[in-house]
């Protein structure tokens, strides 16, 4: 082998040759649809009447001046914030418990660690059907349980005041395991020497957790929270299957509004503009996520 | 000593409660699918086992075809994503020039919401005749499958020391051979794990399938919507379908069970 050959061995051009096929595919399946979606969002286009004409920023203006829009923003905020907050608290608690169980060598905890992941197996659409059945007013399991212990029935998803919280419950029930698995992996990857040193110095378990482990885990906690926030902003299935935004508009989250506008009302321009609002929102959170991961990756 | 066993007791109570809660909806739906349809609801009568829901779902006209469509499109998209992902991960991580920013850009586009993409795909496919085709649907699955595969496999490749391939390179092995003869075999368990997770994402997709297919390329989840009648869903049939639908992902996860805990956490922790 000549010196020239070995110098070429890891050249930039050769690296790009391997990356290029993926880049071409990604360019085709992202750049074109994103450009097209933006173009559509600038048209006033109703598929039913067939009227299509240039609208400029009309659709965006119409979205933000719609008197119902603040309500949609509020519902989206409540849904995402509550879901992610509960998933985080429960996921962290469970991760700490399972880590303690595994560390103490308690038999069965390896199995528990796998079993709690079960909801992640279920397609979100099917999960939504499970909970639609649970919430059914007359025959639903939840009301049967309430009645069984002598409590009155609850209109889980038929009462505009509580429907959104019922959706949050279904969301938390499915996605807490996701939070749990990320947090547990982070907890188990913590270097043990610092913790050991603190323990030798007589620090209590809670003290170690709060002032050493959680600060060290901060990037992982942030990543887990941001990923779940992004996913919850993109989520559709629960609303689509269980409430269709109702009663009234009490569970109409932004992503569902975009779906309904495009594919049920066939106002394509307005729907595309709404999907861009979702996109912008997601990208703001994604920007924060990537900053954390970038700092994290470069700190190594 | 006494305090410790009390703590252990509480850990077990918590762990078992969490596992029971996690398993509950799945187990309940599965048991429900074996009971007569009119009983599905509050109480379960486990003495009345019945396969009627399964018989009805399986005799649905497009049942087997839609299951096959789901399998073909998910397998095809996964295979394409893993193949392209292996190449891209090699280029991103194993050369002197590092493409960190590019890797992060690829991760960023994975977060683009499906709702933005599905409408342009619908209009494009309508014009070029790809509407209601498995190929067209599979291409849209690459929007989430390919960035995921690239990111995961890059992470695994990064953890392999460079020394293993340097020796081979000195012996005159080409990059192509180093990738397929050395790196891929070493990373095989991780690649399989990525493949199973990618397959499950495709398998569970609903939005793209709902909008982009109708009959010739009908997949399983949109088929189940036929059981949602104006007066309400027929839960018996839906749960029977969902139980069948869960088997392939379950088998996949059992295959990769030993790598599962690493796979779930890895993307985020690394």
Please check whether residue B43 lies inside any domain of the structure: no
Sheet strands (E) in chain B: 228-229, 232-233
- A126 in contact with chain B, both atoms CB, cutoff 8 A: yes
- Closest CB to A177 among B22, B94, B269: B22
Domain with A31, as residue range(s), is 1-35
Inter-axis angle of helices B100-109 and B63-93, nearest 10: 160
- Are B87 and A22 in contact by the 8 Å Cβ rule? The answer is yes
pLDDT string in tens for chain A (300-residue length): 333 334 355 677 888 899 999 999 999 999 999 999 999 999 888 888 888 889 889 889 989 999 999 999 999 999 999 999 999 999 999 999 999 898 888 888 888 988 999 999 999 999 999 999 999 887 788 888 888 888 888 888 888 899 999 999 999 999 999 999 999 988 888 887 887 888 888 878 788 888 888 888 888 888 889 889 999 999 999 999 999 988 989 999 999 999 999 999 999 999 999 999 999 999 998 888 888 888 877 775
Residues A121 and A190 in one domain: yes
Please check whether residue A158 lies inside any domain of the structure: yes
- pLDDT of B31 strictly over 70: yes
Residues A73 and A3 in one domain: no
- A31 in contact with chain B, both atoms CB, cutoff 8 A: no
| CA distances from residue A225 to A87, A166, A179, A182 in whole angstroms, order as listed | 9, 21, 8, 10
Residues A280 and A135 in one domain: yes
pTM for the full model? Answer: 0.90
Are A185 and B120 a contacting pair at CB < 8 A? no
Q: A204-216 pLDDT, tens per residue?
A: 878 888 888 888 8
- A47 in contact with chain B, both atoms CB, cutoff 8 A: no
Overall number of domains in chain B: 1
Asked whether the bond before A294 is cis by omega within 30 degrees of 0, the reply is no
- A127 in contact with chain B, both atoms CB, cutoff 8 A: yes
Residues A2 and A94 in one domain: no
Residues A15 and A119 in one domain: no
Are A283 and B111 a contacting pair at CB < 8 A? yes
Which residue, among A129, A187, A244, would best test binding to B if mutated, counting the most B CBs under 10 Å from its CB? Answer: A129
Overall number of domains in chain A: 2
A118-156 core/surface letters (b: 16 or more CB in 10 A; e: else): bbbbbbbbbbbbbbbbbbbeebbbbbbeeeeeeeeebeb
Nearest chain A residue to B210, by CA: A263
167-186 in chain A: CB under 8 A from chain B: 173, 177-178, 181-182, 184-186
Residues A223 and A147 in one domain: yes
Residues A243 and A99 in one domain: yes
pLDDT for the residue numbered A189: 84
Are A297 and B270 a contacting pair at CB < 8 A? yes
Domain with B148, as residue range(s), is 62-269
Please check whether residue B42 lies inside any domain of the structure: no
- Mean per-residue pLDDT, B110-130: 92
Residues A90 and A238 in one domain: yes
Please check whether residue A60 lies inside any domain of the structure: no
Are B97 and A11 a contacting pair at CB < 8 A? yes
Residues A209 and A270 in one domain: yes
Residues A218 and A92 in one domain: yes
For residue B134, give how far its alpha carbon lies from the nearest alpha carbon of chain A (Å).
Answer: 16
Residues A6 and A150 in one domain: no
- A139 in contact with chain B, both atoms CB, cutoff 8 A: yes
Identify any residues that bridge with A45 across adjacent strands, giving them in sequence order. A52
Query: Which residues are CB-contacts of B148 (< 8 A; sequence separation ≥ 6)?
Result: B81, B110, B194, B197, B198, B201
The mean pLDDT value of chain B amounts to 87
Nearest chain B residue to A20, by CA: B88
Look-up of token digits 């559509």: A40
Q: Mapping DSSP to helix (H, G, I), strand (E, B) and coil, where does residue A93 land?
A: helix
CATH number at residue B225: 1.10.3720.10
Q: Where are the alpha helices (DSSP H) in B159-270?
A: 163-170, 175-177, 184-203, 207-212, 220-224, 235-255, 260-269
């Amino acid at each position: 082998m000549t010196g020239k050959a070995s110098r070429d061995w890891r050249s930039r051009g050769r690296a790009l040759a391997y990356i290029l096929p993926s880049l071409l595919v990604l360019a085709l399946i992202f750049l074109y649809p994103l450009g097209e979606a933006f173009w559509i969002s600038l048209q006033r286009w109703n598929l039913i009447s067939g009227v299509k004409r240039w609208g400029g920023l009309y659709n965006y203006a119409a979205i933000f001046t719609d008197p119902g829009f603040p309500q949609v923003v509020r519902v989206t905020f409540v849904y995402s914030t509550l879901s992610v907050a509960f998933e985080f608290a429960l996921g962290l608690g469970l991760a700490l418990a399972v880590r303690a169980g595994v560390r103490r060598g308690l038999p069965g905890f390896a199995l528990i660690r796998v079993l709690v992941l079960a909801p992640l197996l279920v397609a979100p659409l099917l999960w939504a059907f499970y909970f639609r059945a649970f919430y059914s007013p007359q025959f639903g399991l939840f009301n049967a349980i309430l009645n069984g212990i002598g409590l009155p029935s609850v209109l889980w998803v038929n009462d505009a005041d509580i429907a959104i919280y019922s959706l949050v419950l279904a969301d938390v029930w499915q996605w807490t395991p996701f939070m749990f698995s990320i947090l547990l992996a982070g907890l188990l990857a913590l270097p043990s020497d610092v913790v050991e040193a603190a323990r030798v110095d007589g620090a209590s378990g809670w003290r170690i957790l709060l002032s050493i482990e959680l600060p060290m885990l901060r990037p992982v906690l942030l990543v887990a929270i941001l990923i779940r926030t992004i996913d919850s902003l993109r989520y559709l299935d629960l609303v689509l299957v269980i409430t269709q935004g109702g009663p009234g508009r009490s569970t109409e989250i932004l992503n569902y509004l975009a779906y309904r506008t495009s594919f049920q009302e066939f106002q394509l321009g307005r729907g595309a503009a709404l999907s861009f609002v979702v996109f912008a929102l997601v990208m703001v959170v994604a920007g924060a996520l990537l900053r954390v991961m970038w700092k994290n990756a470069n700190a190594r | 000593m006494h305090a410790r066993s009390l703590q252990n007791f509480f850990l077990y109570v918590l762990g078992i409660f969490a596992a029971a809660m996690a398993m509950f909806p799945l187990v309940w739906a599965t048991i429900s699918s074996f009971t007569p349809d009119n009983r599905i609801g509050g109480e379960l009568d486990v003495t009345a086992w019945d396969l009627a829901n399964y018989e009805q779902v399986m005799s649905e006209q497009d049942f087997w075809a839609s299951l096959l469509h789901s399998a073909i499109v998910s397998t095809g998209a996964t295979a394409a994503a893993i193949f392209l992902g292996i190449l891209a991960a090699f280029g991103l991580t194993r050369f002197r020039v590092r493409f960190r920013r590019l890797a992060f850009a690829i991760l960023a586009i994975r977060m683009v919401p499906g709702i933005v993409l599905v409408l342009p795909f619908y209009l494009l496919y309508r014009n070029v005749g790809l509407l209601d085709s498995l190929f067209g649907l599979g291409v849209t699955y690459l929007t989430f499958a390919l960035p995921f595969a690239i990111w995961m496999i890059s992470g695994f490749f990064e953890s392999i020391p460079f020394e293993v391939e340097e020796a081979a390179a000195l012996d005159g092995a080409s990059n192509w051979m180093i990738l397929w003869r050395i790196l891929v075999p070493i990373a095989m368990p991780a690649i399989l794990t990525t493949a199973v997770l990618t397959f499950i994402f495709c398998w569970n997709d609903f939005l793209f399938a709902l909008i982009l297919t109708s009959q010739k390329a009908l997949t399983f989840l949109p088929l189940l919507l036929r059981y949602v009648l104006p007066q309400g869903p027929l839960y018996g049939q839906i749960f029977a379908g969902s139980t069948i639908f869960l088997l392939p992902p379950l088998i996949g996860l059992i295959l990769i069970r030993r790598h599962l805990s690493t796979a779930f956490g890895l993307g985020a922790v690394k």
